Amino acid sequence: MEIKQQIRLAVDAIVFGYEKNTLYVLAVQQKYGVFKDFWVLPGGFIKDDEPLITAVKRELLEEAGISVNYLEQLNTYGDDVHRDSRGRVVSVAYFALVNPQNFVLKADTDAKDAKWFPIDKLPKLGYDHKEMVDLAHQRLKGKLTYQPIGFDLLDDEFLFSDLENLYCSILEQDIDRRNFRKKILSFGIVKETEKLVKMRASGRPGKLFKFDKDKYDSLLGENFQFEIKFA
């Protein structure tokens, strides 16, 4: 049986940033098309000779001016054959984690503007992009409990309270800070530095910590499991 296809393949990126106890999502404002002036996730069609991961990195650079290290494939969207008014479009969604302070956003190509939005104050997104954000948020919450991906959202050196606040903010729940600190330090992958900074609340000096990625990578070869359970 002859099968005729007129399907286009696209990629979309849910990029999370974290700053001042707030989780942010990167969105771009469309310059053209049905969703002109609407906010959407960065993304677009892939080229015929382009791997998916290359395409999503290119779109992020072109539409928002950022490059990312951590990208994970999230889901494929295509069950709704009418999800895109331009025709049958299947999209492969990825999510990424970055520190917003490391980037200066710059919209280009078919993006009119690029901006970070608090996840609870996102504007109405075009297409099915809100669904993508919701799924990525749930995936992020889950991965925080079994992979140390949260360190990608912090500065290289951080107060331990910053790490605690990150978990509280993203998981949207309080944690037992004493047990959390004990558990994290027991892994041996977070090291104290000799540096001190003034604590934001009390003004007293607090020690800065650093994630030891080399130690974490070496532990993985010994069947090490990063696991944090919350009541």
pTM of the model: 0.89
Q: Do domains 8-129 and 145-220 have the same CATH topology?
A: no
pLDDT of residue 227: 86
pLDDT of residue 90: 94
**Rounded distance, CA 83 to CA 12, Å?**
13
pLDDT higher than 80, residue 12: yes
What share of the chain has pLDDT > 70, as a percent?
A: 97
Query: Where along the chain do its domains lie?
Result: 8-129, 145-220
CATH topology for 8-129 is Nucleoside Triphosphate Pyrophosphohydrolase (3.90.79)
Q: What is the pLDDT of residues 196-216, one digit of tens each?
A: 887 666 667 889 999 999 999
Mean pLDDT (the chain, rounded): 90
Angle (CA) 89-11-112 rounded to 5° is 95
pLDDT of residue 52: 96
Give the pair of three-digit tokens for residue 200: 């934001």
Instruction: Tell me how far CA of residue 65 lies from CA of 46, 95, 108, in angstroms.
Output: 18, 16, 8
pLDDT of residue 201: 64
User: Average pLDDT for residues 53-57, to the nearest whole number?
Assistant: 95
pLDDT of residue 197: 82
User: Average pLDDT for residues 218-222, to the nearest whole number?
Assistant: 86
User: Average pLDDT for residues 87-113, to the nearest whole number?
Assistant: 91
Determine which of 10-14, 70-74, 75-79, 200-204 has the lowest per-residue pLDDT on average.
Answer: 200-204
CATH topology for 145-220 is Arc Repressor Mutant, subunit A (1.10.10)
pLDDT of residue 200: 65
pLDDT higher than 80, residue 160: yes
